[in-house]
Amino acid sequence: MEIEDWRDEIDRLDEQLVKLLNARSQCAIELGRLKRELGLPIYSPDREREVIAHVTGINHGPLERDAVRRLFERIIDESRSLERATVEKETNFRAKNAKARKVPKKRS
């Protein structure tokens, strides 16, 4: 295989990675909505430790354990930011709508 072949292979893997990272973020958003309904906080340090233990536990390399940990810390961080931003936006939207319903429009 030549340089271009390896780069094409990496591009194909990256396309799958983009899909999976987005699918993971969509799950995090759904989880965030559920936590809001249940009155639970977005940040769950125990669960984040569990995720890191899971991914480093199933890793067979060539990436080293610490590299996998660093990568998933970033992945968790981006998922959590998106989960928080989406849930906050929806909560504010609901609050605004609820307020609008309470103040009837003046008759012209």
CA 92 to chain centre: 20
Going by C-alpha positions, the residue among 85, 86, 89, 107 that lies closest to residue 97 is 89
Helix (H) or strand (E) holding 22: helix 3-38
Residue 35 CA to residue 14 CA, distance in Å, equals 31
Residue range at the interface with a second copy (CB under 8 A); choices 27-35, 88-96, 98-106: 27-35
67 binds a second copy (CB under 8 A): yes
Query: Which SS3 state, helix, strand or coil, does residue 69 take?
Result: helix
Size of the site for a second copy (CB under 8 A): 51
71 binds a second copy (CB under 8 A): yes
Instruction: In angstroms, give the least distance from the CB of 41 to a second copy.
Output: 12
**Closest to a second copy by CB, 16 or 108:** 16
Residue 99 CA to residue 20 CA, distance in Å, equals 38
Q: Which residues bind a second copy (CB under 8 A)?
A: 1-3, 6-7, 9-11, 13-18, 20-31, 34-35, 38, 47, 51, 54-55, 58-64, 67-68, 70-72, 74-75, 78, 81-82, 86
